[in-house]
Amino acid sequence: MNANIPEGELTGKWTKLRSSMPLVNPANKRSIEIIIVGSGLAGASAASTLAEMGYKVKCFCFQDSPRRAHSIAAQGGINAAKNYQNDGDSVYRLFYDTIKGGDYRAREANVHRLAEVSANIIDQCVAQGVPLAREYGGLLDNRSFGGTQVQRTFYAAGQTGQQLLLGAYSALERQIGMGKVEMFTRHEMLEVVVIEGKARGIIARNLITGELERHFGHAVLLGTGGYGNVFYLSTNAMGSNVTAAWKAHKKGAYFGNPCFTQIHPTCIPVSGDHQSKLTLMSESLRNDGRIWVPKKKDDQRKATDIPEEERDYYLERRYPAFGNLVPRDVASRAAKERCDAGYGVGQSKLAVYLDFTANTERYGRIEATKHNIHNPDRETCMRLGRDVIKEKYGNLFDMYKQITGEDPYELPMRIYPAVHYTMGGLWVDYNLMTTVPGLYALGEANFSDHGANRLGASALMQGLADGYFVIPYTIGAYLSKELATKPIPLDHPAFVEAEASVRGILEHFLSVKGTKSVDFFHKRLGKIMWEKCGMARNAEGLTSAIAEIQALRKEFWQDVRVPGEMNEFNPELEKAGRVADFIELGELMCMDALQRNESCGGHFREEYQTEEGEALRDDENYAFVSAWEYKDDVKFELHKEQLKFENIKIAQRSYK
């Protein structure tokens, strides 16, 4: 696999490429059409920027407004190598932390570029009026996130994703208002149209009328997010899906590292079978929350009644250097280890405590000093400290209380790991182009920057880097050669055929009239995936999962019940298409996990671990990106992109 990484020194690759990239002159840009699917951080930032540059842009989202894309739910923050805290941060350090955090399974050149443009993102967002948190002097504030020892995370309370997305959304709406972007809300992309080997358009369904539409573009960009909902229960929004990426995959785009999924350590535990989704409690809480379980098995006492010496702060014990701020994969596995060993808390015993008491008291003491209260009693400290905690995490505490009915200011939170993000995605080269010329993937939809584990506050950074600062340059390399391509008429046989195939699938779903709802199959798929391709995997489990998923697929196509009609607003029909794709993807994820005979980052194969239970990589045989090619009839062929580490010494990842 050729990733088209520019020649030269790592630090100079991007600058050099940017300056030598072919350009498209303003007059020609006006006649070039670009289709963008998805309106989250990656999609909206790309759409607005490309429109500002003069291209004709069409943007599609399945939600009723681009502002509702799931980026909106990101809580904690966005990393940037600004070194505003004077704590030794630099582009190199952000690059290094990200490569190490990803357990040496990401591409050096991509990650370095990400670190380089990270500072521009913050500048751009502030210029747009994004109200990031500030200190009294009026300058921007930072906090720490997992896997780093500097403070480089910018934030807006627990709503950073919301504020950044609304910034990108207003830039997008500005272009819509100016007539430069044509926006299609409540539209779902159901096929990529490929003509003579190049992506030339899409088939989209108008979700209100049910009509299928054909759209031409000189290039097609997918910013369609991740596929965490393959597990049914995840922190993803209900509508988040893999369909656009999967259709692209079936049209020739290779799928990169599908088995690399991120299980986030701090989520609200499952409360029952009715559960439709899981809610994240931001990683930023680990700045001030200490994670522990009782030292005694099956301890029935209330958390606050368990004395200090009978608590096991297992992250601080196992990883003294990083403590509660170890990367997500490490923290998740450690929680699972304690619960599996019988030390879990709460009714289900599948939870650990996240406790703010110590830091509330510490903040209270600082506040008391500020207010000239000498020798404050504990109660005063707790009262004053609580205001500080409230200002930092108020909305998260409210959210927790709403869901669990417990007050986290009084009792420690109960948390457990849950599926949160997918590092895998469409394989792209350095220019973000997939293996189908003219088809690009941005943000979480591609596989590129996070290796086998993403660090906190890096998803927002990557989505905006791709959309604002990477694709606007790299797409020129392709489009500059397309100037002679006239818009292809929509009655071209490729469009007709693509639409017919989409219609055929939808009509099939409606005609089955089986006995089980779409959700029934989705839940079953989720259970298989969580148990056998979740936080811990082994060859035996994965092999049986593949067989189970194949059987489930057969059953789904023969027995699903989809009510309603095609030409109307029919959410069940939408879900059927998405679950059909999730089932096929689930099989590929298990295959990928099975072939990777090593543990790395979020991919933990029980057969491959150190004596202390840490992930054991095999750099000699598995330092590659797996890039899967789709073959007819849900068969897949593995290709490999060998990873070269020329600037970082590859080592056993240690957070001790």
Partner 1 sequence: MSTGNMNLTLKVWRQKNNKAKGNLVDYKMSEISPDMSFLEMFDVLNEQLINKGEEPIVFDHDCREGICGACSMYINGRPHGPKEGITTCQLHMRSFQDGDTIVVEPWRAKAFPVIKDLAVDRTAFDRIIAAGGFISVNTGNAQDANALPIPKFQADSAFEAAACIGCGACVATCKNASAMLFTSAKISQLAQLPQGQPERYRRVQSMVAQMDAEGFGNCTNTGACEAECPKGISLENIARMNRDFYSAKFVSEEEV
- Alpha-carbon distances, residue 648 vs 12, 79, 109, 430 (angstroms): 16, 20, 11, 19
59 binds partner 1 (CB under 8 A): no
The correct pick among 23, 238, 551, 651 for binding partner 1 (CB under 8 A) is 238
Q: Concatenated DSSP letters for 1-33?
A: ----PPSS-GGGHHHHHHHHS----HHHHTT-E
472 binds partner 1 (CB under 8 A): yes
527 binds partner 1 (CB under 8 A): no
637 binds partner 1 (CB under 8 A): no
Q: Which stretch binds partner 1 (CB under 8 A): 69-77, 308-316, 357-365, 577-585?
A: 69-77
The footprint of partner 1 on residues 142-171 (CB under 8 A) is 156-157, 159, 162-163, 166, 169-171
φ/ψ of 445, rounded to 5, equals -65, -25
The correct pick among 13, 58, 67, 93 for binding partner 1 (CB under 8 A) is 67
Side-chain half-sphere of 222: how many Cα atoms within 13 Å?
36
The footprint of partner 1 on residues 196-225 (CB under 8 A) is 208
310 binds partner 1 (CB under 8 A): no
Determine the Cα–Cα distance for residues 5 and 107; give it in Å rounded to an integer: 9
Determine the Cα–Cα distance for residues 290 and 357; give it in Å rounded to an integer: 9
CB of 517 to partner 1, least distance (A): 5
287 binds partner 1 (CB under 8 A): no
Measured CA angle at 400 (ends 394, 401), to 5 deg: 90
571 binds partner 1 (CB under 8 A): yes
The correct pick among 403, 477, 483, 512 for binding partner 1 (CB under 8 A) is 403
CB of 172 to partner 1, least distance (A): 9
The correct pick among 56, 68, 205, 290 for binding partner 1 (CB under 8 A) is 68
Q: Concatenated DSSP letters for 466-504?
A: IIIIIHHHHHHHHHTT-TTPPPPPTTSHHHHHHHHHHHH
118 binds partner 1 (CB under 8 A): no
84 binds partner 1 (CB under 8 A): yes
CB of 49 to partner 1, least distance (A): 4
Determine the Cα–Cα distance for residues 240 and 57; give it in Å rounded to an integer: 23
Determine the Cα–Cα distance for residues 507 and 250; give it in Å rounded to an integer: 20
Determine the Cα–Cα distance for residues 225 and 558; give it in Å rounded to an integer: 29
The correct pick among 19, 20, 86, 276 for binding partner 1 (CB under 8 A) is 276
Q: Two tokens at 226?
A: 């991740």
Q: Which stretch binds partner 1 (CB under 8 A): 215-223, 428-436, 560-568, 598-606?
A: 560-568
CB of 495 to partner 1, least distance (A): 27
Kindly give, in sequence order, each residue whose CB lies less than 8 Å from that of residue 81, ignoring residues fewer than 6 positions away.
Answer: 89, 90, 91, 93, 94, 115, 118, 119, 152
Residue given tokens 């999924």 in the structure block: 261
Whichever of 140 and 358 has its CB closer to partner 1, that residue is 140
Q: Residue 280 in contact with residue 235, Cβ under 8 Å?
A: yes
Whichever of 134 and 378 has its CB closer to partner 1, that residue is 134
The correct pick among 81, 176, 461, 528 for binding partner 1 (CB under 8 A) is 176
Whichever of 125 and 193 has its CB closer to partner 1, that residue is 125
Nearest Cα to 229, choosing from 525, 588, 455, 541? 525
Q: Which stretch binds partner 1 (CB under 8 A): 197-205, 316-324, 466-474, 484-492?
A: 466-474
Question: Among the options 93, 214, 328, 617, which is catalytic?
Answer: 328
The correct pick among 25, 65, 501, 558 for binding partner 1 (CB under 8 A) is 65
CB of 138 to partner 1, least distance (A): 3
Query: How is residue 68 annotated by DSSP?
Result: G
Q: Which stretch binds partner 1 (CB under 8 A): 412-420, 437-445, 513-521, 634-642?
A: 513-521
The correct pick among 82, 251, 362, 503 for binding partner 1 (CB under 8 A) is 82
Q: Which stretch binds partner 1 (CB under 8 A): 292-300, 397-405, 636-644, 646-654?
A: 397-405
H-type alpha helices, 257-408: 314-318, 328-340, 357-370, 378-404
Per-residue three-class SS string for 254-296: CEECCCCEEEEEEECCCCCCCCCCCCECCHHHHHCCEEEEECC
554 binds partner 1 (CB under 8 A): no
CB of 190 to partner 1, least distance (A): 19
Binding pattern to partner 1, positions 492-511, x when CB under 8 A? --------------------
23 binds partner 1 (CB under 8 A): no
Kindly give, in sequence order, each residue whose CB lies less than 8 Å from that of residue 395, ignoring residues fewer than 6 positions away.
Answer: 157, 158, 159
The footprint of partner 1 on residues 339-358 (CB under 8 A) is 347
237 binds partner 1 (CB under 8 A): yes
The correct pick among 342, 563, 638, 644 for binding partner 1 (CB under 8 A) is 563
613 binds partner 1 (CB under 8 A): no
The correct pick among 48, 118, 153, 448 for binding partner 1 (CB under 8 A) is 48
φ/ψ of 58, rounded to 5, equals -115, 130
To the nearest 5 percent, what fractions of the chain are helix, strand and coil?
Answer: 40, 15, 40
# of chain residues touching partner 1 (CB under 8 A): 82
Determine the Cα–Cα distance for residues 209 and 190; give it in Å rounded to an integer: 15
The correct pick among 96, 569, 624, 645 for binding partner 1 (CB under 8 A) is 569
Q: Two tokens at 609?
A: 């671990």
Determine the Cα–Cα distance for residues 149 and 93; give it in Å rounded to an integer: 10
Catalytic residue flag (residue 328): yes
H-type alpha helices, 128-192: 160-177
* Surface-to-core class of residue 184, CB atoms within 10 Å of its CB (0-12 exposed, 13-18 middle, 19+ buried): buried
Determine the Cα–Cα distance for residues 154 and 142; give it in Å rounded to an integer: 5
The footprint of partner 1 on residues 120-139 (CB under 8 A) is 120, 122-139
273 binds partner 1 (CB under 8 A): yes
Give the residue numbers marked as catalytic.
328
